[in-house]
């Protein structure tokens, strides 16, 4: 559905996007992940026909965005980083205008406006001026605008930026519902978003694609050993040694200590589940078992690891700061 081949964009001497290639299949949600200034927005702007690439090719819904821009744009819905609203227009007026310029047939226009307002749940704001809406509603009007002509491809630049947690969850659910009918590219620098909504991730850093994979594979690929987090209380000083004696455990390290409770990070051989033995060992020693959970390498750490591959000076071992940041 979307094919990007060797895309390069230079602004004068600065190269914002350098030889980026990837594909998105029909109905897929692709996460576009990268730190600020990595070239996400530039890539999206090229895909939507907002700006031309210096080099390379982008095909959206079967049309080259540079050679047949009008055809490609007709099949693309785009939500820029800040929703492109006219503050003096009401929500209905605005969506009606967008429907007109997006070539929605005039006899369907009214119905389409109604449909997208229901879908993005903004009907109660229909006659409010878009300039007076809260950030969350503005974002939803922006999403409604991108959906109005029922495009094959949806390109969303940080759709959840600036929303409150409840709105973020709602928006993610909406995006998930839209997949299937629509092919979606979603950019973000929030990692949980990618693991929750996307089937595949493209990680981009300094204009280069550094990884393309599923969120699960990406975390698994970078994880050498399986790690568990164990928190116990009233444990003696021999606890580390006692835990190390559990069969399969390769390393035990104390990670935190709070109000008498001590947390340990326990590494085990790959593919061997030591949780039962570990629990038994704790209980039989007479300690209280407060917590026992797997510590997965979060996408955040995976992300830091792959973006650091470019900079060999920074050792990969520092790429595992706080565990469990992915909710």
Kindly list the residues in this chain that would bind another protein in the complex (CB under 8 A): 9, 11, 42, 45, 48-52, 70-71, 73-74, 76, 78, 80-82, 84-89, 93, 97-98, 100-103, 106, 145
For the CB of residue 142, give the shortest distance to another protein in the complex, in Å: 9
For the CB of residue 151, give the shortest distance to another protein in the complex, in Å: 10
For the CB of residue 28, give the shortest distance to another protein in the complex, in Å: 21
> Given the complex with another protein, which of 73 and 140 has the nearer CB atom?
73
Buried residues in 15-34 as b, exposed as e (16+ CB within 10 A): bbbbebebebeeebbbbbbb
> Given the complex with another protein, which of 159 and 323 has the nearer CB atom?
159
For the CB of residue 78, give the shortest distance to another protein in the complex, in Å: 5
For the CB of residue 77, give the shortest distance to another protein in the complex, in Å: 9
Separation of first and last alpha carbons in the chain: 31
> Given the complex with another protein, which of 32 and 303 has the nearer CB atom?
32
> Given the complex with another protein, which of 58 and 98 has the nearer CB atom?
98
**Residue 296 DSSP code:** P
* Chain centroid offset of residue 59 CA: 23
Contact partners, residue 199, CB within 8 Å, separation at least 6: 28, 29, 30, 179, 214
Nearest to 92 by CA among 150, 154, 144: 144
Distance between CA 250 and CA 224 in Å, rounded?
Answer: 12
> Given the complex with another protein, which of 101 and 290 has the nearer CB atom?
101
Nearest to 120 by CA among 69, 79, 63: 79
Distance between CA 76 and CA 145 in Å, rounded?
Answer: 11
For the CB of residue 10, give the shortest distance to another protein in the complex, in Å: 10
For the CB of residue 152, give the shortest distance to another protein in the complex, in Å: 13
> Given the complex with another protein, which of 18 and 267 has the nearer CB atom?
18
3 state DSSP class of 291: strand
Distance between CA 95 and CA 89 in Å, rounded?
Answer: 9
> Given the complex with another protein, which of 47 and 326 has the nearer CB atom?
47
Residues in a beta bridge with 60: 2, 63
How many residues are given for the chain? 327
């Amino acid at each position: 559905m979307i094919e990007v081949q060797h895309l390069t964009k230079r602004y004068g001497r600065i190269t914002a996007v350098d030889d980026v290639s990837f594909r998105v299949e029909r109905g897929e949600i692709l996460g576009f992940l990268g730190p600020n200034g990595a070239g996400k927005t530039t890539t999206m702007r090229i895909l939507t026909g907002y700006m031309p690439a210096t080099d390379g090719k982008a095909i959206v819904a079967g049309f080259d965005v540079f050679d047949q821009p009008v055809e490609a744009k007709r099949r693309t819905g785009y939500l820029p980083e800040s929703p492109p609203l006219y503050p003096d227009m009401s929500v209905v007026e605005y969506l009606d205008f967008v429907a007109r310029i997006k070539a929605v047939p005039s006899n369907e226009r009214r119905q389409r406006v109604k449909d997208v307002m229901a879908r993005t749940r903004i009907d109660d704001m229909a006659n409010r001026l878009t300039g007076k809406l809260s950030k969350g509603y503005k974002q939803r009007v922006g999403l409604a605008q991108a959906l109005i002509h029922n495009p094959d491809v949806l390109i969303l630049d940080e759709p959840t930026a600036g929303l409150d947690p409840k709105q973020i969850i709602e928006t993610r659910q909406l995006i998930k519902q839209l997949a299937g009918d629509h092919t979606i590219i979603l950019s973000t620098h929030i990692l949980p978003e990618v693991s929750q909504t996307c089937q595949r991730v493209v990680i981009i850093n300094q204009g280069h694609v550094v990884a393309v994979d599923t969120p699960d594979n990406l975390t698994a690929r970078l994880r050498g050993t399986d790690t568990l987090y164990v928190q116990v209380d009233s444990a003696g000083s021999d606890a580390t040694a006692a835990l190390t004696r559990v069969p399969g455990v390769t390393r035990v390290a104390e990670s935190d200590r709070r109000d008498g409770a001590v947390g340990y990070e326990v590494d085990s051989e790959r593919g061997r589940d030591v949780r039962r033995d570990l629990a038994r060992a704790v209980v039989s020693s007479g300690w209280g078992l407060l917590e026992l959970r797997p510590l997965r390498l979060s996408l955040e750490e995976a992300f830091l690891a792959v973006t650091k591959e470019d900079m060999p000076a920074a050792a990969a071992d520092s790429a595992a700061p706080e565990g469990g940041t992915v909710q």
